[in-house]
Amino acid sequence: MSSSYSELKRQAWQANMEVPRRGLAIYTFGNVSAYDAQRAVFAIKPSGVAYDTLTADDMVVVDLEGNVVEGKLRPSSDTKTHVALYRAFDGIGGIVHTHSTYATAWAQACLPIPIFGTTHADHLAEDVPCTELMTAEAVERDYEAETGVQIIDCFRNRDPHRTPMVLVAGHAPFTWGKTAEKAVYHAVVLEELAKMAHATRTIEPRSKRLPEHLIRKHFERKHGKRAYYGQ
């Protein structure tokens, strides 16, 4: 079937398929969306379809009001969170939500992931932030939309481009990026950072954060104005 959203749906599908391939999700867990800023729509995984039967044509195209623009299936139950983030974070082109084990474990502990080493500092210059726990009133109002609010609140004094990931307290991570592919990359990196931080804490519970000068050096050489590393 030809569609003017074919390319966007293909991007979303490809990024979604990368999630189980990288061991970030089982069964139907997780969802990725790819955003088209020009048309202000995104393609997202349908709800309840297992990865091994998922096709590009199954992707659901949704606008920033949350209306389905194209697609036969129901969009992911987390669609309202994606809508909230695309509206709030200018310039992002993809969002990923998984319940990957280690990142989810930190989210369940309601703790930010401390920046213990340079692997972490190569990707973001601070602890992976963790939101507040959602109140009973917010859950009653509109759970998925409020998850977006939790994240946006947590980024009130943060740049989502410098810190492309968050832990939703008691729940699991969300990551994003300039493209859906980059957002998945951040989800994979986050899971690795979460695993490393867990091992670090286990070996030495009093482990300290990396000193600021090393954080700056590693972050700036990859992401600063005069970046020279791995570009």
Question: Of 58, 78, 122, 127, which one is the catalytic site residue?
Answer: 122
Could you tell me if residue 168 is left (phi over 0), alpha (psi between -120 and 50 degrees) or otherwise beta? beta
122 is catalytic: yes
The residues, any chain, with a CB within 8 Å of residue 25's CB and separated by 6 or more, are 19, 51, 98, 99, 100
Decide if 145 contacts 80 (C-beta within 8 A).
yes
**Size of site (CB under 5 A) for Zn ion:** 1
The encoded tokens of residue 7 equal 């390319």
Closest residue to Zn ion, judged by C-beta, is 172
Please tell me the distance from the alpha carbon of residue 189 to that of residue 178, in angstroms, as a whole number: 15
**Which residue in this structure is represented by tokens 């970046």?**
227
Positions in 170-199 near Zn ion (CB under 5 A): 172
Q: Which stretch binds Zn ion (CB under 5 A): 9-17, 107-115, 156-164, 167-175?
A: 167-175
Q: Which stretch binds Zn ion (CB under 5 A): 47-55, 102-110, 168-176, 178-186?
A: 168-176
Q: How far is the CB of 63 from Zn ion (least distance, A)?
A: 22
Nearer to Zn ion, 78 or 122 (CB): 78
Q: How far is the CB of 222 from Zn ion (least distance, A)?
A: 29
159 is catalytic: no
Run of H or E including 95: strand 94-97
User: Which active-site residues does the annotation give?
Assistant: 122, 229
Positions touching Zn ion (CB under 5 A) are 172
